[in-house]
Structure 1
Amino acid sequence: MSEISDVRQRKPLPLPDEPSPSKKKTKNEDDDANLIDNPRFGISILDVLRVLSGLLLLSCIFSWLITDGTSLTWGYRPRISRWRTLKAFFQPAVNLTDAELALYDGTDPTRPIYVAINGSVFDVSANPAMYGPGGGYHFFAGRDAARAYVSGCFAEDLTWDLRGLEEMYITGRGREEDEAELAEISQLRGREGMDGRIRWLQSRRDKRRKEAWQKVAKQVDHWDRFFRAHERYFYVGRVVHESLDGKPVRELCKKGGKRKPSSSK
């Protein structure tokens, strides 16, 4: 009888599909499982990518319709997508002498057309009507004419020599003061006790010339950026100029001497 009572007092074994009391899930675990099986909120990365892809597709469609089928990007065409830019990117930079640069003036159809400004060489072959033979700016082809870009004297200043060009920005009262200071320095030179006065006058002239030279550099930089940013031209390398040591400083051309400073031009 004792054996029968012991069997009756034993707890029944759990059914196969019923979790063991020691392994019952907590409330938090149940909630996590429900969220996985039946998500009620939250956005996945895949959902974000789907939305962005849909918006991009709609933008391309509207751009195609509005631009009459000419562009999927609202007319924007990054430089990196242009064949000439990609071609230039993979080509090694050229290093030319002035004599070598002169061979790229457009007269030889087998060579590209190059122009240079302050040592930087640009390929302008995409516009032969402008820079090729018979073009309005053919005189710029095959040479570095940085001085002419600033002075506007296309007949006299087709050179890279910028020395003395700051004079065109010293006009009016500044020119009068400059000449008066130069004359006074000549009179005081060699006189005892005048060294301080000479240094002061010279510093004024140097400051005036420095400011004028900055205007020259600004104009040169403007044209350099023009060619670099142009959608049809691209940078190809450098031209190495011969030394100007011992050569006289060029005088201003008539147009440059009378021209008033204007960065907008």
Structure 2
Amino acid sequence: MNPSESRTRFNVLDIVRVFAGILLINALASWWFTSSPTWGYTGKYIDQRYLKHRLFGRQVTLTPQELRLRDGTDTSLPIYIGIGGRVYDVTASRHIYGPKGPYAFFSGRDAARAFVTGCFQKEDEFTHDIRGLDPEEARADIQSWQDYFERSSKYWYVGTVIHEPLTGDPPAPCDHQKYPHY
């Protein structure tokens, strides 16, 4: 190339440089205005565990015993909760779902019945067994909770839990009101 000739094409390296420059300017402006390089966003889309799961992970299929190991007592494992056979990673809220958290009773199990009834006083309510409940109401409530966890900025779907067929009697009804009636 003659020194008097100018370069008139972009190559891949030029595109990478422009993109990196835009990202740097964006991060600096964000830091200036919000003291955060991500404009204050703290959700799952910048969580390294979520990104690793999305890029390299696969959906898990757990037994109830395997799910039970993910209740937060072993800090090297994520915290999972199950709702109607679907499993969600709630590790981002270890202070809520971890061993001393206010919702620790949901961790490491499929507690679909408790999500439907709202009864947290009886240990036998923390089960996937929804027999004895109104089927339509139970399905709607379970779907509502699944939607909540799937749309959450902190939690995400990781797979399923496979349950053995139910035997025996369903849990006795819980003696409380699901929602206050005014």
TM-score by length of 2: 0.72
Name the structure with the higher helix share. 1
Q: Secondary structure at the match of 1:101?
A: helix
Instruction: Give the direction of change, closer, same or farther, for the CA distance of 1:114–1:76 in structure 2 (3 Å limit).
Output: closer
Residue in 2 that maps onto 1:97: 63
Among 217, 220, 232, the residue aligned to 2:142: 220
Per-residue deviation, 1:155: 2.8
Shift of 1:221: 1.1
The answer as to 2:78 corresponding to 1:112 is: yes
Alignment gaps of 5+ in structure 2: 1-21
Q: 1:98-146: CA deviations, max 9, x gaps?
A: 1111111111122111111111111111221111111111111110101
CA distance in structure 2 between the aligned counterparts of 1:78 and 1:129, rounded to whole angstroms: 16
Residues 81, 89 of structure 2: 8 Å contact kept: yes
**Residue in structure 2 matching 1:164, options 109, 132, 156:** 132
| Contact map agreement 1:117 1:224 (CA 8 A) in 2 | yes
RMSD: 3.0
Secondary structure of 2:146's counterpart equals: helix
Contact 1:88 1:234 in 2 (8 A): no
Q: Decide whether the 8 Å contact of 1:116 with 1:146 is kept in 2.
A: yes
Unaligned stretches of 5+ in structure 1? 1-55, 167-212
Q: 1:95 to 1:75 in 2, by over 3 A?
A: same
Q: 1:223: how far off?
A: 1.0
Work out the CA distance in 2 between the residues paired with 1:70 and 1:260. 39
For the 8 Å contact 1:130–1:138, the answer to whether it is kept is: yes
| Contact 2:118-2:178 at 8 Å conserved across structures | no
Q: Percent identity, aligned pairs only?
A: 40
Residue aligned with 1:238, SS: strand
TM superposition score normalised by structure 1:
0.51
CA distance in structure 2 between the aligned counterparts of 1:138 and 1:78, rounded to whole angstroms? 21
* 1:86 alignment partner AA: L
**CA–CA distance in 2 between the matches of 1:136 and 1:229?**
22
Q: Distance in 2 between matches of 1:123 and 1:68?
A: 28
Question: Does structure 2 conserve the Cα–Cα contact (< 8 Å) formed by 1:95 and 1:240?
Answer: yes
Q: Matched residue pairs, number?
A: 157
